[in-house]
Structure 1
Amino acid sequence: MSQIKGPALFLAQFAQDTPPYNTLSNITQWAKDLGYLGIQIPANDSRFIDLDKAAESQQYCDDLKGQCNGLTITELATHLLGQLVAVHPAYDVLFDVFAPAKFQNNPAARTEWAKGELIKAIKASRNLGLNVIPTFSGALLWHTVYPWPQRPQGLVEMGFKELARRWQPLLNVADEYGIDFAYEIHPGEDLHDGVTFERFREATGNNPHVNILYDPSHFILQQLDYIGYLDYYKDYIKAFHVKDAEYNPSPRSGVYGGYQNWQDRPGRFRSLGDGQVDFKQVFSKLTQNGYSGWAVLEWEDCLKSSEQGAREGAIFIKSMLIDTPTKAFDDFAGGATDEATNRRVLGLS
C-alpha cells in the first residue's frame, strides 16, 4: 500500500490582492503556519506564477519552488483553462471572464488561447517535476443533460467525438512530456460522472493520459455512490480534492436547486467535517487502492469563513491520513514455513 501525502491547500479560493494572500511567498508562509505541507497553484493566477516563464525556464521554476517557504507544489491546476476548451454558445458571456479581454466575444480565439495556456502548463509542470494536471473538460452537451426536449439520435456521440477532437492535440503534448490530465468530475462539465468519463475516454481511444480528479462533494450533490466510485475507477484517480458537502432533501427543491443561492439549496458545499462525506471511508479506500498523491483541501462553504475553513482543514486532513503498516498485524502468530510444511497443512503427502 502507498501512503497519501498531505495536507495540501488549493490556493484559488484564498487568493486576494491583500497580504498574506497576494504573493506566493506570503500565502505559503500563511499556509505553513496553519500546518499545510503542500500547495496546489492555479496556473492562471499571475500573483503566484508566470506561466510563460515557467514553461520556458527551469531556473524560474527552481526559484518559484524556493519562494514556497518549504512547502511542496503539488500540481498546477488548470480548471478555468480546461473549461474554455469547449464552451457551448449559451455560456459564452458567462465564461468570457475567464479569458483576457482581447479574446472575449471571440469564441474561436478564446479556445485557441486556452489550448496554448494548457500547453504551457504541461511544460511548466515538467519543469517543476510534476506529472499530473488537474483540469475541467469543458462542455458542449451540458445544456442537454436533462432529456427534454428529446435529444436527437447520435447527438451525445457527436458531442464526445468533438470534445475528444479538441483535447487530442493537448493529450499528444501531455504524452510527449509525461504528464497526465486529471479531469475533475463536476456538474456543468461533460465529464460529470462515471459514464461520461468512460464516454470521453473511449472517444479519445482510451488515451492513458485521460484520468480523474476525485472530489466527493460533487457526488453528494448528484446523489452518486462516491465510495463505490473509488473501487470502480481506482486505476484512473490521479488527484484528490478534499471537499465536503451535504444534501438535505426538501419538499420544495431537489438536486437542480431551484435557481437558489448556495445557502438555500438542498445540496451545498461545506467545510471539512461539517458535511456528509464519510472521509474515513474515502481515505481508507484510497489508501487500500494505492493512491499515493496529495490530499488537497479545496475550500468552499457558504456559512463559514475561508480562514476558519483553512485552519480547521489542515487539522482535519492530518487526522485522516493513514500511516501504512510495515508488517501484517497478525505476523506475531505466524511461523517459519516451507513447501513441506504447507503440504502437511493441506493434508498432502
Structure 2
Amino acid sequence: MKTLKGPGIFLAQYAGDEPPFNNLPDIARWAASLGFAGVQIPTNDQRLFDLEQAAASKTYCDDIAGMLAEHGLVVTELSTHLQGQLVASHPAYDRLFDGFAPPALRGHAQERQAWAVDQLKLAARASRHLALSAHATFSGALAWHLFYPWPQRPAGLIEQAFTELGRRWRPILDAFDEASVDVCFELHPGEDLHDGATFERFLEAVDHHPRANILYDPSHMVLQQLDYLAFIDLYHDRIRAFHVKDAEFRPNGRSGVYGGYQNWIDRPGRFRSLGDGQIDFGAVFSKFAQYDYPGWAVLEWECCLKDPLVGAKEGAAFIRDHIIPVTARAFDDFVATEADPAFNRQLLGID
C-alpha cells in the first residue's frame, strides 16, 4: 500500500503581476511557508515557467528542481489546461478561447490548433526532464454544445466527434508514452471528457491507450450530481492526478444543475474552499489509500466567497490532516497462524 503525496498546490489561480506571485522562486517561497510540499505549475504562464526551454534543456529543469528543493518543494505535475482546450475547439467557441493562444494565432483556428498540439508535445519532453510521472490537462471539446439531446441529434454524430477527438489526441498520447508520462484529463464541464461515460468513449477512440488517464476532481462531480465516491471504485486504475477542491450543490425552486446563467455566487452548484463544502474528503482519501493511488493531492482554489490566501493557508493543513499514512500490516496479524495445507483440509472436512 502507498501513502499518497501532499499537500501540493496548483499555482494557476495564484499567479499574478504582484509579488510574491509574479515569479516562481517567490511564489515557491510563499507556498512552502504555508506548509505545501509540492507545486503544480501551469505552463502557459511565462512568469513562472518557460515551456519551450524546459522541453529543450534538462539543465533548465534541473535548475528549477534545485531551486524548489531549497524550499522543500518538488514539482507535482505540469499543467497544459489552456493549451489542451485548444487541441479540440468547436468554431462556436473560437472567439472565447482565442485568449488562450499567442496574439499572432488569434483568429487562425488551424494554426492555433497545431500550436496547441505542439505545446502538449513540449510538455511531454519537459515532464520527462523533470522526472515526472503525470501531466494535467483538458481534452478540449467538439461536442459540448450538444450535451443536451435537444434538438435531437443525428445518428452517429457523437460517435464521429469522439473518433475525431481520439484522432487528434493519439499522437499526443504517443509522445507522452515515449516520455513515460501519463496524460491526466481533468473531467470538467465544457470538455468532451466530463464524466465516466465520456471518458469511456474516449478510451475506445484511442484503443485504451495506457497513457490516457484521469485527473480526479470531485467538485466537478458534485456540480453534475455524479457519485464521486463510486467513481473512484470504477476508475481508480486510471486516476493518476488529484485536485482537492470542495463544492456544494443546493438546488432551489429557481435553478438547479444548469445554474440559470447566474454568477457563481448565486448558482445552486458552486465551488468552495476546502472544508466549507459538502464533499466527504475523509471517504475520498480512504478510497485513495485503499486503491494505492500513486500520486499527489493538490489544492485547487476556486471559491466565490473566501479570500484565496486564507483558502491556501487552510487548504495546506486540510490536505495534510486528511492524508492517511497507510499501514504495513493487517490489524489482526497478531492472531495469524502459519500456513498448513493439511490442517486447512481438516478444517474444510475434505480429508
**Candidates 304, 307, 321, aligned match of 1:305:** 307
**Candidates 136, 146, 166, aligned match of 2:168:** 166
Matches within 5 A, 1:216-231: 216-231=218-233
The amino acid across from 1:50 in the alignment is D
Matches within 5 A, 1:15-34: 15-34=15-34
Shift, 1:85, TM fit: 0.4
Map of 2:250 onto structure 1: 248
Matched-pair contact (CA < 8 Å) for 1:182–1:239: yes
Tell me the distance in 1 between the aligned counterparts of 2:345 and 2:170: 55
Map of 2:177 onto structure 1: 175
Tell me the distance in 1 between the aligned counterparts of 2:277 and 2:240: 24
Deviations 1:26-71 (A, max 9, x none): 1111111101000100011111111111001111100011221220
Do residues 83 (structure 1) and 77 (structure 2) align?
Answer: no
**Candidates 273, 290, 297, aligned match of 1:288:** 290
The amino acid across from 1:318 in the alignment is R
Deviations 1:64-91 (A, max 9, x none): 1122122010100111010000111111
Indicate the SS of the match to 1:22. coil
Matches within 5 A, 1:88-107: 88-107=90-109
The amino acid across from 2:174 in the alignment is N
Shift, 1:340, TM fit: 3.2
The amino acid across from 1:7 in the alignment is P
Shift, 1:341, TM fit: 3.2
Map of 2:144 onto structure 1: 142
Tell me the distance in 1 between the aligned counterparts of 2:96 and 2:339: 67
Map of 1:5 onto structure 2: 5
Indicate the SS of the match to 2:39. strand
Indicate the SS of the match to 1:67. helix
Do residues 54 (structure 1) and 36 (structure 2) align?
Answer: no
Give the total of aligned pairs: 349
The amino acid across from 2:11 in the alignment is L
After TM superposition, the structure 1 stretch with the greater mean CA deviation from structure 2, 257-266 or 40-49, is 40-49
Map of 1:333 onto structure 2: 335
The amino acid across from 2:198 in the alignment is T
Tell me the distance in 2 between the aligned counterparts of 1:341 and 1:204: 51
Do residues 130 (structure 1) and 135 (structure 2) align?
Answer: no
Do residues 324 (structure 1) and 331 (structure 2) align?
Answer: no
Do residues 42 (structure 1) and 42 (structure 2) align?
Answer: yes
Tell me the distance in 1 between the aligned counterparts of 2:125 and 2:72: 23
Shift, 1:348, TM fit: 4.3
Tell me the distance in 1 between the aligned counterparts of 2:121 and 2:339: 55
Tell me the distance in 2 between the aligned counterparts of 1:172 and 1:294: 24
**Candidates 202, 207, 210, aligned match of 2:209:** 207
Question: What is the TM-score normalised by the length of structure 2?
Answer: 0.97
Structure 1, unaligned stretches of length 5 or more? Answer: none
The amino acid across from 1:36 in the alignment is F
Tell me the distance in 2 between the aligned counterparts of 1:143 and 1:344: 65
**Candidates 221, 231, 234, aligned match of 1:232:** 234
Indicate the SS of the match to 1:217. helix
Indicate the SS of the match to 1:39. strand
Matched-pair contact (CA < 8 Å) for 1:24–1:67: no
Shift, 1:342, TM fit: 2.6
Deviations 1:172-195 (A, max 9, x none): 211222121110110000001111
The amino acid across from 1:9 in the alignment is I
Map of 2:76 onto structure 1: 74
Do residues 63 (structure 1) and 100 (structure 2) align?
Answer: no
Indicate the SS of the match to 1:280. helix
Tell me the distance in 2 between the aligned counterparts of 1:180 and 1:292: 12
Shift, 1:326, TM fit: 1.3
Shift, 1:344, TM fit: 3.5
Structure 2, unaligned stretches of length 5 or more? Answer: none
Tell me the distance in 2 between the aligned counterparts of 1:260 and 1:272: 23
Indicate the SS of the match to 2:344. helix
Question: What is the TM-score normalised by the length of structure 1?
Answer: 0.98
Shift, 1:206, TM fit: 1.4
Indicate the SS of the match to 2:236. coil
The amino acid across from 2:201 in the alignment is R
Tell me the distance in 2 between the aligned counterparts of 1:157 and 1:335: 55
Tell me the distance in 2 between the aligned counterparts of 1:337 and 1:347: 17
The amino acid across from 1:180 in the alignment is D
Shift, 1:339, TM fit: 2.5
Deviations 1:282-315 (A, max 9, x none): 0101110110200000010000010000000001
Shift, 1:317, TM fit: 0.4
**Candidates 135, 153, 156, aligned match of 2:155:** 153
Tell me the distance in 1 between the aligned counterparts of 2:37 and 2:217: 20
